[in-house]
Amino acid sequence: MNKRNIQDVDVDGKTVLMRVDFNVPQDSDGTITDPRRIEAALPSIRSVVDRGGKLILMSHLGRPEGAPHPKFSLRPCAEKLQELLGRPVAFAGDTVGDEAQQAAARLTPGDVLLLENVRFHPEEEIKDKKATPEEKNAKESFARKLADLADVYCNDAFGTCHRDNASMLTVPQQMGDKPKVVGFLVEKEIQYLSGVISKPERPFVAIIGGAKVSSKIDVIRKLLGLCDHVLIGGAMAYTFSLAKGGSVGKSLVESDKVDLANELMQTGKDKLVLPVDTHCADVDWDEGFKRIVNTRQAQTVPAGEIPEGFEGLDIGPRTAERYSEIVGAAKTVVWNGPMGVFECSPFDEGTKAVAQAIADSDATSIIGGGDSAAAIEQLGFADRVTHVSTGGGASLEMLEGKQFAAVDILDDA
């Protein structure tokens, strides 16, 4: 995946169409609450405008289901980018219509234009393998209108690199012989998630958490073949407990994945490290199952001995200590998924302990996006790890060793 980057292209006086990932969280008033993804795109953006290029940005935001929706407008992102960039950022109220085309035609060297949400168009998310001929034609037509706006295509949206969306794959396909390159963010993600892991310094330790074994089965299998230790946390640990004949109370488990858990334990043997104790409680959740609103009788029990009516919510202190020791001896660490319900005290202790151990270690440390990235940021350790990925699903698929068509199509270095 050694790809040509945006700095390698002469952009003076040329129009660059850059796919970025401005899928940022907002509050009910539309105020951006976490601008990290916009900040991550700034080096590539500056590379274009500082060298006299005319820059058109495109991104998705949320899931508007293929139709315009005020809640998912990128206008607040244009305002935040203007603030961060310190120069005007124009905004087009559509993506490929007259307003977008006229705004693109008005650009002069050093100008920046952000198009409206690409997912306001159903063509953006048509899947190539399932598309009818009519859908394929519609997707190509949509992509061609975007491709015709520019002289250069740049992919700096790692979070969607694993998808065949029109703006990610079909647009560069429609660019013909025009330069198609990566931005600095995508280049950095590839360097760490593909490059470092292909030749890790050992001991190589992976920490995998989250809710479901099924969603991370492929990456666990892959890492068991690469790592010296794979540490398991989060709710997926209770499926392993169930597979071992333990009691899990009301814990979130995948009872239909017990055979899968057994298979992983047989394959991983001593490499697969499971919790030895669990912090559990009788709790009430709010609507949407997003946060705990009431906790009763929190206690620590041996793994696989969760009482009836209780649910496991975090790894216990003995497990946290054991995991911290393993991490402390590592030379390469990959972490994807929290150890428990880290948003709610006191069930954040396991995640805190693991994050602290990673921050204190001398290892090359890669935090694989999603909740792990949020946790490392909230705990103030982001500047003490080697790399925090901007992509959740994309980082997992790259760890699995999957090919990304949206990257493969770009020009080789």
As annotated, the active-site residues are 37, 212, 370, 393
Q: What are phi and psi of 277, to 5 degrees?
A: -145, 165
Q: Which neighbouring-strand residues pair with 306?
A: 248
Q: Cβ distance 351 to 373 under 8 Å?
A: no
Closest CA to 80 of 53, 61, 101: 61
Reduce the DSSP state of residue 331 to 3 states and report it. Answer: coil
Other Cβ atoms within 10 Å of 260 Cβ, number:
17
Rounded CA separation 395/373 (Å): 11
Q: Cβ distance 211 to 234 under 8 Å?
A: yes
Q: Which neighbouring-strand residues pair with 55?
A: 16, 112
> What does the angle CA 360 – CA 190 – CA 215 come to, to the nearest 5 degrees?
80
Collect all residues with Cβ–Cβ distance below 8 Å to 256 and sequence separation of at least 6. none
Give Dmax over CA atoms of the chain in angstroms. 68
Other Cβ atoms within 10 Å of 75 Cβ, number:
15
Q: What is the 8-class DSSP label of residue 64? A: -
How far does CA 190 lie from the centroid of its chain?
A: 13
Distances in Å between the Cα of 380 and the Cα atoms of 288, 355, 404, 407 are 28, 10, 32, 32
Reduce the DSSP state of residue 182 to 3 states and report it. Answer: strand
Q: Which two tokens stand for residue 341?
A: 């319900």
Q: Which two tokens stand for residue 60?
A: 């998705």
Query: Is the bond preceding 43 in cis, omega lying within 30 degrees of 0?
Result: no
Rounded CA separation 311/134 (Å): 49
Reduce the DSSP state of residue 270 to 3 states and report it. Answer: helix
| Chain position carrying tokens 């390159």 | 181
Q: Cβ distance 118 to 167 under 8 Å?
A: yes
